[in-house]
C-alpha cells in the first residue's frame, strides 16, 4: 500500500472512527493483499509509511471474498471484476485475508 493511501486510510479512521471503516482491497495475489491488509490492521510492516506503528485494527476484505462479492450488483461485478477473478488464486487470497483478520482485526466482522 503506497504512502498516500496509508495517509488517506489513517485520516478516514481518525475522522470517522476505525470501527466505522471497512477497507476493500483488489490485489492480484494473496501475499500482496495480505501485506496491504496487515498495514491497515497491525501497522505498516515495512516501517516506511504513515501507518508505521499504528494499529488501526480495521476490517479488511478482498473484493473477491464471498461476503463482499454478494454486496455487489451481479451485473456490475461481472462487468468489472469477474474476468480478473478467473485468473486469481481466490482460495489463497481468502486464506490470507482471513488470517490477517483473525490476527489483527479489532472489530467484529462486517
Residue 110 is assigned to a structural domain of this protein: no
Which grid cell sits at 75? 451485473
Helix H, strand E, coil C: the string for 76-95 is HHHHHCHHHHCCCCHHHHHH
By C-alpha distance, which of 70, 37, 71, 51 is closest to 6? Answer: 51
Residue 109 is assigned to a structural domain of this protein: no
Residue 48 is assigned to a structural domain of this protein: yes
Residue 39 is assigned to a structural domain of this protein: yes
Residue 45 is assigned to a structural domain of this protein: yes
pLDDT tens track for 27-41: 999 999 999 999 999
Q: Residue 48's domain spans which residues?
A: 3-104
Residue 19 is assigned to a structural domain of this protein: yes
Residues of the chain with pLDDT under 50: 110
d(CA 53, CA 81): 33
Residue 100 is assigned to a structural domain of this protein: yes
pTM, whole model, 2 decimals?
A: 0.92
Query: What pLDDT was estimated at residue 110?
Result: 47
CA 14 from chain centre, in angstroms, equals 18
Domain count, the chain: 1
d(CA 76, CA 29): 22
Amino acid at each position: 500500500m503506497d504512502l498516500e493511501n496509508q495517509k488517506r486510510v489513517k485520516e478516514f479512521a481518525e475522522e470517522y472512527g476505525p470501527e466505522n471503516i471497512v477497507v476493500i482491497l483488489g490485489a492480484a495475489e494473496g501475499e500482496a493483499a495480505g501485506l496491504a491488509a496487515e498495514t491497515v490492521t497491525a501497522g505498516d510492516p515495512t516501517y516506511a509509511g504513515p501507518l508505521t506503528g499504528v494499529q488501526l485494527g480495521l476490517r479488511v476484505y478482498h473484493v473477491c471474498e464471498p461476503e463482499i462479492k454478494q454486496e455487489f450488483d451481479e451485473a456490475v461485478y461481472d462487468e468489472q471484476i469477474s474476468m480478473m477473478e478467473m485468473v486469481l488464486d481466490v482460495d489463497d487470497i481468502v486464506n490470507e485475508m482471513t488470517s490477517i483478520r483473525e490476527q489483527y482485526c479489532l472489530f467484529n466482522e462486517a
